[in-house]
Structure 1
């Protein structure tokens, strides 16, 4: 689709999605190069993670400031300026989602998140998965999802499995797939490699804004676990829970999670 084919008034959001994809991809390339260089130098994984967070944050903040000088930015790694609450447009970024996985050689389940909220609405976003050489954005065309498998696949953390999520998986007779970052889990559903991503342990807006934007653009169900809408650029950026899933499974998943 070209910008001339986009309905009037929506072209800006397509352009934002493309900008988010370009910026997230570039930050991801920096992170990949940093990780390779540090691994070859035998650096401490903790130092690799810390420096990677800082490197990506500084790149994203500088790039967004240059390309969108009138917009506010909410970043996991930056000081929260509450002037963003009065801003018309706010970029919400996670410079390195899945810091633990980033510090483990060979792992690909980490991501860079870039999303934009305009007048209170999440309008565009991108999730880059640099180790997979893939970036997913709201400006992308998404192929139809494959048929659902007999047993739904639920992505879960390697280290934390909240009881509501395991109960839901059990009620649905689901297969559990372990994965790292929130972005990687959400993109597994977007890619058709999983069917449900539910999180009940609490997250921040930067953990889910870009994944939610992309998942929604791909035709997936996105909501809180009680079925209510997700809201971004709030004074307190904490979000208690999240559900991203195939629309065919939404009612069943919400029914169990809401008990």
Structure 2
């Protein structure tokens, strides 16, 4: 992909993330009395409508894989596929928090090409083409981003082995981006996810020079026939060996 084409695609990714995040804020502000489930469902639906309209206008020939739309096998033969999560972190969104995200990633000829993530609204959008490097290291223990509500037991074992601090936060996109921005040093997940949960923030993490992989060290692959992608590791490159070693030990200690 040449520079001009990459810049144009980055603009599309930003436009998708910003538009959906703006609509999500509007939906939440306009419905203060809705309960959590109803607000989650409304937010998902409205963000999907905005994203579908934006991609129809800006990239009408491209295929789409979205959490909130019917899948089509035609995407497997498409050269360009957008991988979309209209609202990552529905619990946080419904609780009025800002640690939710909108994900827009582009896969070109089977390779993850770029991604944009709107973090908690349209004002803060990270785009892979605009990220040169990750934040510098901080003194103190290793900080591992984990779920606010259901930290995997695997991560607790890794944290104990490394003497690490667990930092609770919301959506997967927020947790991955926290390693880019320096709020955390690693994010380890082993509890089940799909491609749309990680594609866009992983594109940003890779652009920032972070280590990204499955728990077993294999590559994270996107636009696969089955979009289930249940585990991942994102960490500062200088921590890779320690973290991957601790993960291997923790997995080996798990009962058959």
- Range of TM-score over shorter length: over 0.9
| Contact 2:83 2:195 survives alignment (8 Å) | yes
Aligned partner of 2:63 among 72, 79, 97: 72
Residue 221 of structure 2 is aligned to residue 224 of structure 1: no
Unpaired runs of at least 5, structure 1: 1-7
Residue 82 of structure 2 is aligned to residue 86 of structure 1: no
TM-score (norm 2): 0.93
SS of equivalent to 1:258: helix
Q: CA deviation at 1:15?
A: 2.4
- The aligned counterpart of 1:235 is 225
Q: CA deviation at 1:139?
A: 1.9
C-alpha spacing 1:180/1:10, structure 2 compared with 1 (3 Å) = same
C-alpha spacing 1:46/1:154, structure 2 compared with 1 (3 Å) = same
Tell me the distance in 2 between the aligned counterparts of 1:209 and 1:48: 25
- The aligned counterpart of 1:117 is 107
Question: Bigger CA drift: 110-119 or 136-145?
Answer: 136-145
Tell me the distance in 2 between the aligned counterparts of 1:132 and 1:9: 27
1:102-145 deviation digits (Å, cap 9, x = unpaired): 0002x111000000001000001100013483110112144652
Tell me the distance in 2 between the aligned counterparts of 1:61 and 1:251: 41
Q: CA deviation at 1:9?
A: 2.4
Aligned partner of 1:189 among 179, 183, 204: 179
Q: CA deviation at 1:228?
A: 1.0
Tell me the distance in 2 between the aligned counterparts of 1:149 and 1:25: 34
- The aligned counterpart of 2:163 is 173
SS of equivalent to 2:98: coil
Tell me the distance in 1 between the aligned counterparts of 2:134 and 2:112: 23
How do 1:1-259 and structure 2 match up within 5 A?
Answer: 9-39=2-32, 42-105=33-96, 107-131=97-121, 133-142=123-132, 145-259=135-249
Question: Bigger CA drift: 145-154 or 244-253?
Answer: 145-154
Tell me how many residue pairs correspond in the alignment: 249
Q: CA deviation at 1:54?
A: 0.2
| Contact 1:126 1:137 survives alignment (8 Å) | yes
Question: Bigger CA drift: 88-97 or 217-226?
Answer: 217-226
Q: CA deviation at 1:11?
A: 3.4
SS of equivalent to 1:222: strand
C-alpha spacing 1:241/1:151, structure 2 compared with 1 (3 Å) = same
TM-score (norm 1): 0.92
Unpaired runs of at least 5, structure 2: 250-256
Tell me the distance in 2 between the aligned counterparts of 1:24 and 1:245: 24
